Amino acid sequence: MQRRTFISGAAGAAAAAAATLSTRTAWAKPEYKWKMVTTWPKNFPGLGTGANNLAKLIGEMSGGRIQVKVYGAQELVPAFEVFDAVSRGTAEMGHGAAYYWKGKSEAAQFFSTVPFGLTAQEMNGWMYYGGGLELWTELYADFGLVPAPAGNTGVQMGGWFNKEINSVADLQGLKMRIPGLGGEVLKRAGGTPVNLPGGELFTSLQSGAIDATEWVGPYNDLAFGLYKAAKYYYYPGWHEPGTTLEAIINKEVFDGLPGDLQSIVTNACKVVNQDMLAEYTARNPAALKTLLNEHHVDLRKFPDDVLAKLHELSDQVVAEIAEKDAFSQKTYASYQKFLNQAKEWSGISELTYLQARDQS
C-alpha cells in the first residue's frame, strides 16, 4: 500500500511539474513581434546602441513575450520619417528626438531640449515629477503615439566649425547643421540652420555644403571622425543642455498590451534613459582626451558676448513659440516654472559645489 501511494504521489508530482513546464514554455513564446525604427545610424555608439539596449531589455524583462527588431535610419524608413512610420503602424516603435517633429507641433521641441534650459537631471525631474511627461503624452495622443524618455546625452558640445567665432558678426551667413529651437536661434542671429541626419554630417562638412555642425559630444563626434572635417571644436552646447531622447510606441499597439507588458515597456524605457546618461558621462571625458592629445583638435570656448547674445535670442524664440497655440503656451508655462525652481536649487547646490571642487 505504501509503495502504491509513493508511486501515485510521484506520478502526480511529475504531472504537475510537466504542466508547470508546459505553462512556462507557452508563456515564454513570443506573443508580440515589434519593429523599432530609429533616427540613428545602425549600431551607432550611444544613440544607436541605446535603441538596441531598449529592445534587448524589453525582450528580457518580458520573458520573450515581446521581441523587438531594431532598424537603423534608412533601413526601413528614412531618419526623419520615424514619427509618421510609428503613427501609421508601419512600425510598432521608434527611437529618436522630439525636436525633429516641430513640423507636427511646435510644442514637441520642449520635450527634447531648450537652449539655455534644463539639464539632463532637471529634465528627468520635470518629466517624471513636474508634469512634463503628462503633457507630452497628451500631445502625442493626437498622433496615435505614446512617448517615453529613453536616453539623455547630458550637456552637448557647441559644435565643429571651419571658421573662428570671435564675435556675433561671425554667425552672419553661417550655414550650420543644428536642429530644433537652437536652429531658430541661429537663424535669428543671421545664420542658416540646416537639418541633416547624423549619417550625412561628415560628408556635408567636408565638402563645404555646411560651414559647421553640432552633433552630440566627444564620444559620438570621435566616432564620426568629425575632427577630420573641421578645425575648431567649440563649447559649451548652449543649444542642447540636456537632450532627452524618446521612445515612441504606436498607441493602439500599446493599449492592446496586457498591463504587465505595458509596465515592462515603460520601465525598460526608464532604465535606458538613465543608462544612456551614465554612458555618456563615462565616455565623453576619455573621448575628449583622445581628440585633444591624439588628433590635436583646436578646442575653443564661445566668447562671452556671443553666448550672451544667443541667450537673449533664445529667450525671444522660446517665448514666441509659446504664443503660437494654447498647448504650446501650457507646455511653456509648465517648463518655465520648473526651470525657475531648478535654477534656484542648482545654483546653491551643484553650481557652488562644482566651483568649490574646481578651486582645490
Q: How many C-beta atoms lie closer than 10 Å to residue 90's C-beta?
A: 16
- Residue 1's pLDDT is 47
State the average pLDDT over residues 223-239: 97
State the average pLDDT over residues 256-279: 98
CATH of 23-153+242-281, one of 3.40.50.300, 3.40.190.10, 3.40.190.170, 1.10.760.10: 3.40.190.170
pLDDT at 151 over 80: yes
State the average pLDDT over residues 1-30: 50
Q: 8 vs 193, which has greater pLDDT?
A: 193
**d(C-alpha 185, C-alpha 309), whole Å:** 10
Evaluated on CA atoms 16, 21, 22, 28, the torsion sign reads positive
Q: How many C-beta atoms lie closer than 10 Å to residue 141's C-beta?
A: 12
pLDDT digits (tens, 9 = 90+) for 90-113: 999 999 999 999 999 999 999 999
Q: What is the dihedral of CA 21, 22, 23, 26, to 10 degrees?
A: 120
State the average pLDDT over residues 29-44: 92
- Residue 15's pLDDT is 52
Buried b (16+ CB within 10 A) or exposed e, 234-247: bbebbbbbbbbbbb
Q: Tell me the CA end-to-end span of the chain in Å, nearest whole number.
A: 84
Q: 101 vs 10, which has greater pLDDT?
A: 101
Helices 259-293 and 47-61 sit at what angle, rounded to 10 degrees? 150
- Residue 20's pLDDT is 47
3-state secondary structure the chain: CHHHHHHHHHHHHHHHHHHHHHHHHHHHCCCEEEEEEECCCCCCCCHHHHHHHHHHHHHHHCCCCEEEEEECCCCCCCHHHHHHHHHCCCCCEEEECHHHHCCCCHHHHHHCCCCCCCCHHHHHHHHHHCCHHHHHHHHHHCCCEEEEEEEECCCCCCEEECCCCCCHHHHCCCEEECCHHHHHHHHHCCCEEECCCHHHHHHHHHHCCCCEECCCCHHHHHHHCHHHCCCEEEECCCCCCCCEEEEEEEHHHHHCCCHHHHHHHHHHHHHHHHHHHHHHHHHHHHHHHHHHHCCCCEEEECCHHHHHHHHHHHHHHHHHHHCCCHHHHHHHHHHHHHHHHHHHHHHHHHHHHHHHHHHC
pLDDT at 301 over 90: yes
**In the structure, what pLDDT confidence band is assigned to residue 26 with cuts at 50, 70 and 90?**
very low
pLDDT at 3 over 80: no
Helices 120-129 and 326-346 sit at what angle, rounded to 10 degrees? 120
**In the structure, what pLDDT confidence band is assigned to residue 359 with cuts at 50, 70 and 90?**
confident
pLDDT at 264 over 90: yes
pLDDT digits (tens, 9 = 90+) for 208-222: 999 999 999 999 999
> 48-52, 128-132, 248-252, 355-359: lowest mean pLDDT where?
355-359
Residue percentage of the chain with pLDDT more than 70: 91
**d(C-alpha 180, C-alpha 183), whole Å:** 6
Q: Which of 26, 24, 29 is nearest to 65 (CA)?
A: 29
**d(C-alpha 119, C-alpha 114), whole Å:** 9
**d(C-alpha 56, C-alpha 204), whole Å:** 33
State the average pLDDT over residues 66-85: 97
> 25-29, 233-237, 242-246, 275-279: lowest mean pLDDT where?
25-29
pLDDT at 18 over 70: no
pTM of the model: 0.89
Average pLDDT, the chain: 93
pLDDT at 229 over 90: yes
Residue 66, phi-psi category: left (phi > 0), alpha (psi -120 to 50), beta (remainder): beta
State the average pLDDT over residues 34-56: 97
pLDDT digits (tens, 9 = 90+) for 315-339: 999 999 999 999 999 999 999 999 9
